[in-house]
Chain A
Amino acid sequence: MSSTTEIETHTKTITLKTADRKLFTLPEPVAMEFKTVKSFFDDNPDASSHTVVPLPNVNLGELEKISFCCEAQLDFRSRGESAKDESKAQQKKFLKQQTNDELKSLILAANYLDIADLLNVLNQEAADRIKNKSVEYVRRFFGIENDYTPEEEAKVRAENAWAFEGVDPDSDVDPDEDVMMN
């Protein structure tokens, strides 16, 4: 992952201030992939590239990862059709390295930063991770409190009894730490 202190002197850079009060500098083309950042500059015509953009809803960790993804995607895009497969493979590899919690944080961050393409990819990954999983797994994955009474739950499960055949068994893997291997 590229260091946060890399500054390409021949490219304009933008500096962002995260929720945990850290400064993060990245090339302007990458920053402009974040609609939230772009809107900031559109709404503030007086702002220059030296103006620090406050992002109170994103932590440094997520920002670094997102910046890494977007920069890589921009690079692949500039190389045209031939780089499409490589781009997909790189994205897949990155996604598989994220734990469920990390994935959720990325979704929240990408949602806040308003990066449509990245969000679609992250959403699909989240959906893939809950496909064919039990209700309990989905609850733990998303951190949902079960507010059904036992009778209500029995009733709603009975209504959908057909959907419970062939579900992946919950192994001893805790979805909070579940990491997809390979």
Chain B
Amino acid sequence: MGTQLDFLSYLNDEMSVKIFTCLDDPSDIARVSCVSHSWRNFVIANGLAKHLCLRMFPQLSRVDHVVEPASMAESLVAVGSSNMEWETLKKEHRAYAFLAQGFMSFPEEEKCISEAIIASSTDNPWESIDNTLEKNDILGVRTSYWSSKGYSNPVVPETLTYKLVADLCLVTEVRIKPYKENLGSAYFEHGVHIYSAKSVRFRMGHLKTYIDNLMDESCPDSHGDKFVWTYTSLEFPMVQEDCLQSFKLPAPVLCIGGILQIELCGRVQRNQIDDLFYICVAHVQVVGRPLSPAFGVEILEPSENFVLKALSYTQPRTVPQETRRAAERWHRWLIDNQPIINIMRGNVVDLVEYKWEVEDSYEESDEDGNEESDKLNLP
């Protein structure tokens, strides 16, 4: 036939949309919008970028509306109301096209955790969840790990809750290293105890917006009410080995709200001293693609809907070295000051049994915590 007329004009919109919906690469949609004015208008009017994103991540159906950087919003003020619908479609096209690109090409990070929020239980102040952010096992003279409280029933689960570096984050993998205790004492058996769990499961979601400050909560048991989980994974079996175990999600998951929780199900290791079951974790990593600072979210409570905020249309660079080092210094300080932080969080421990760690020497002592201010290492 070799017609020079626009092929699309022979087909109705529905048919043309059908061809374009077969395109599953965001770059193809973007290039299609460069073909001509009418094609670009077609792509925008039919929300092709949005539909592509929805196909990739159905959770995006909870987007209530899109907002763009303030600088762009100002230029729309003068536009008449009849054009508002078109301007909204254009805005959605820009945001979703860039979001789709983000899914495919924003830098992948191995350290998507920004900070530890709370553990379901902690045995001692120096065995806090903050230790799990530290890759090295030995910090000075301290072995760095988190320990749950001990239970005689191995079925009691534990949870570790973290804040990610981005409010909107694509998560592909979680890595967990259980803690291995070396038994070297003459009084007990030689060997190793590895305090892994039977299996793990992951949840992702957001903080309930009416809770201002996690640190204000005085009762750690109520932390279950602080979060709304919008994704729960299947259970992954865990092995009783002290290696960094990789749990790859079957498909990347979009974490909306930046909160990730690890549930450790089933205890396998008894402690030789008190014969109770514990779970202890040495290190946790979350691997994925942070979509902030380009994108932000604002949850609209009480529904689970949210506002998708396009904050910047600049392709992000990998996190600069200096920022990484600063984050690591912060983690170190958190660990060194665990006792105070735990009290602030409400993980109050019986002070009589409290043992203070001193950075340059390790000594078992019975002194109470009154002289704590002398021993704090402030950055």
Contacts and interface: CB of A to CB of B under 8 A. Distances in A.
Interface of A: 101, 104-105, 107-108, 111, 119-120, 123-124, 126-128, 130-135, 138-139, 142-148, 152-153, 156-157, 159-160, 162-165, 167, 176
B25 interface: yes
A147 B38 CA distance: 9
B32 A148 contact: no
B28 A111 contact: no
Contacts of A153: 34
B105 A142 contact: no
A11 B189 CA distance: 87
Contacts of B18: 119-120, 123
B22 A128 contact: yes
A108 B40 contact: no
A167 B30 CA distance: 12
Interface residues of B, number: 37
Contact of A144 (B6, B11, B23): B6
B5 interface: yes
19 contacts: A101-B1, A108-B11, A120-B18, A128-B22, A131-B23, A132-B28, A135-B31, A138-B31, A142-B7, A142-B35, A143-B4, A144-B35, A145-B6, A147-B37, A152-B37, A153-B34, A160-B31, A160-B33, A163-B28
Contacts of B19: 107, 123, 126-127
A63 B97 CA distance: 39
Q: Which of A123, A152, A153, A157 has the most CB of B within 10 A?
A: A123
Contacts of B31: 133-135, 138, 160, 163-164, 167
A176 B20 CA distance: 20
A124 B22 contact: yes
The 8 closest A-B pairs by CB, nearest first: A127-B22, A163-B30, A163-B27, A160-B30, A142-B7, A123-B19, A135-B34, A124-B22
Contacts of B125: none
Given A119-B18, A126-B19, A162 B6 contact: no
Contact of A139 (B1, B35, B40): B35
A143 B7 contact: yes
B1 A156 contact: no
A163 B32 CA distance: 10
Contact of A138 (B2, B22, B35, B40): B35
Residue from A124, A152, A165, A176 whose CB has the most chain B CB atoms within 10 Å: A124
B27 A142 contact: no
Contacts of B315: 162
B36 A148 contact: yes
B338 to A, nearest CB: 43
Contacts of B40: 156
A46 to B, nearest CB: 30
Nearest to A57: B10
B34 A142 contact: no
Given A120-B18, A127-B20, A105 B36 contact: no
A20 to B, nearest CB: 12
Nearest to B23: A127
A143 B6 CA distance: 6
Given A132-B27, A160-B97, A111 B15 contact: yes
A132 B25 contact: yes
B5 to A, nearest CB: 6
B10 A108 contact: yes
B50 to A, nearest CB: 16
Contacts of B34: 135, 148, 153, 156-157, 160
B26 interface: yes
Nearest to B19: A123
B1 A104 contact: yes
B11 A111 contact: yes
